[in-house]
Amino acid sequence: MSQQMTGRRVTGRRVTGRRVTRERPVRGRAMATSARAGLALLLVAVCGLAGCSGGGGSAQVVHVLGPWTDAEQASFLAVVAPFEQRTGIKVDYEGSRDSDTALADRVAGGNPPDLADLSSPAKVAQYAKAGRLTPLDGALDPSGLAKQYAPSWLGLGAVGGKQYAVVVKAAVKSLLWFSPKALAAHGWKPPGSWAELTGLDQRIAASGTPPWCVGLESSSASGWPGTDWLEDIVLAQSGPDVYDRWTAGTLAWTSPQIRQAWQTWGDVVGAPGMVRGGPRGMLLSGFGTAGTSLFASSPGCFFDHEASFITDDYQKDGSQPVAGKDFDFVPFPRIDPAFGGTEEVAGDLLAMFHSTPAARKLVAYLTTPEAQAIWVRRGGALSPNRLVGTGDYPDALSGRLGQQLTEATAVRFDASDQMPDAMQVAFYEAVLSYVNNPSRLDAILADLDRVRANAYG
């Protein structure tokens, strides 16, 4: 999922792999007060990655378009404030919840920004192949970048062997959330394997409380939370190669691997007594509030499958749950042990439409541990930069999430966010249809294949 959810969907949380509402103001990072020392630090940090050549009269304004508004915009502005102070370059930021559409309009009108946040690797490839993007070679030193970002993270922004974008903010999808207190009260432990998860589901259901809270409602993008389930299952059950072919439209929805993923999801949440409110509850519950039943004095469920951004919603609950105490997470269990270590992620990919000296300096700065640490310290964001430590996060739980990202063997971007728009919409609708009537699975998958035949061109 995403609403042009971190980049694309527009529903309550996403506009495309992203989340649409995060309100968590926090503190910034202390900066050197000496202008001379600050400039020296910038030259080390930026030129170390970018190889600043000092070339001629660059405009001292960088125009940036992104999806961050409200608290997220405040965090971005806090990140760039030290850069502006040290360099004298002004960052002119335009925020739009539907930034993909705003960008497309700007590009079509011949007025793209200098830098823009793109919602998925598919968008990066689209603009790169159209000749709209400038490779980041002039802004980022490849050897320096490789020390900070794992190859699979850099691969998300690469097209044809060239680096056209870099992830500056990320989320991890492959998570199961639970209440430590609620499990401990029954003597249950968080599951560490798929067998443990399904066995615990049965014990919880036998106690009279459904093990799962599932919310699929998200305005016009309702259904996307189910796509996250299916994407995680495909990765955990059939591995990244199958996931890649399915995402790219070269593997049929009716293939044994994809059909099996739908059946596995149905086995987990489709049986009577497995989900709070049953199918109707799944269809009518909002994704952001469904899991708050974890914190009730008499819990209405024990597990919630959501991405790392769900912590913002949890902490808006009236009971004011505390991270690590009232809610915690375990990684989504591997179904086939051969496919461990690959995480499903979403993220914000920064790309360059105009290669000005000022824009190159800003790109280089935003990839540094300094800038990334400011962003994550303010909450609501994770960094794929390996030099950002767990201590840079506002709490221990967020630090563990960041560590899970940087230590992943490999990452795969949210599949539905990379599919053509028609395919993505059909996927959302298929999730809702399946929950409403699982017996129609074969017909649902056949319909998806008909969309696939046209959507990928």
pLDDT tens string 281-310? 999 999 999 999 999 989 999 999 999 999
Rounded to the nearest 10 degrees, the angle between the axes of helix 421-436 and helix 441-455 is 180
* pLDDT band at residue 26 using 50, 70 and 90 as cut-offs: very low
Residue 356 phi/psi, 5-degree rounding, is: -95, 160
Burial 49-76 (b: 16+ CB within 10 A, else e): bbebeeeeeeeeebbbbbbbbebbebbb
* Rounded-to-10 torsion of CA 446, 449, 455, 457: -140
Distances 280 to 214, 215, 267, 268 between C-alpha atoms, Å: 10, 10, 17, 16
Q: Which amino acid is at 116?
A: A
Could you tell me the two tokens for 33?
Answer: 């007060």
Residue with tokens 């000022």: 358
* pLDDT band at residue 315 using 50, 70 and 90 as cut-offs: confident
Superfamily of domain 35-170+347-413: Periplasmic binding protein-like II (3.40.190.10)
**pLDDT value at residue 174:** 95
Q: How many CB atoms lie within 10 A of CB 48?
A: 13
CB 333 within 8 A of CB 196: yes
For residue 218, the Cα-to-chain-centroid distance in whole angstroms is 16
Distances 445 to 1, 227, 235, 433, 451 between C-alpha atoms, Å: 19, 14, 18, 11, 10
Domain 175-343 sits in CATH at 3.40.190.10
CB 178 within 8 A of CB 329: yes
As a whole number, mean pLDDT of residues 57-62 equals 69
**pLDDT value at residue 17:** 44
**pLDDT value at residue 142:** 86
The answer to whether residue 3 scores a pLDDT higher than 70 is no
CB 346 within 8 A of CB 15: no
**pLDDT value at residue 42:** 39
Non-local CB neighbours of 399 within 8 Å, separated by 6+ positions = 389, 390, 391, 392, 393
> Residues spanned by CATH 3.40.190.10 within the chain?
35-170+347-413, 175-343
**pLDDT value at residue 417:** 96
**Whole-angstrom distance, CA of residue 266 vs CA of residue 159:** 36
**pLDDT value at residue 318:** 80
The answer to whether residue 435 scores a pLDDT higher than 90 is yes
As a whole number, mean pLDDT of residues 255-270 equals 97
CB 341 within 8 A of CB 222: no
* pLDDT band at residue 163 using 50, 70 and 90 as cut-offs: very high
Q: Can you list the pairs that 266-271 forms with residues at least 24 positions away whose Cβ atoms lie under 8 Å?
A: 266/434, 266/438, 266/441, 267/198, 268/198, 268/201, 268/212, 269/212, 269/214, 269/229, 270/435, 270/438, 271/205
Higher per-residue confidence, 20 vs 85: 85
The answer to whether residue 205 scores a pLDDT higher than 60 is yes
**pLDDT value at residue 341:** 84
Nearest of 139, 100, 116 to residue 14 by alpha carbon: 100
**pLDDT value at residue 21:** 35
As a whole number, mean pLDDT of residues 263-271 equals 95
CB 388 within 8 A of CB 371: no
> What are 346-395's pLDDT values in tens digits?
999 999 999 999 999 999 999 999 999 999 999 989 999 999 999 999 99
Could you tell me the two tokens for 306?
Answer: 């959501």
**pLDDT value at residue 340:** 82
The answer to whether residue 38 scores a pLDDT higher than 80 is no
* pLDDT band at residue 223 using 50, 70 and 90 as cut-offs: very high
Residue with tokens 């298929």: 430
Higher per-residue confidence, 10 vs 209: 209
As a whole number, mean pLDDT of residues 96-109 equals 95
Higher per-residue confidence, 332 vs 19: 332
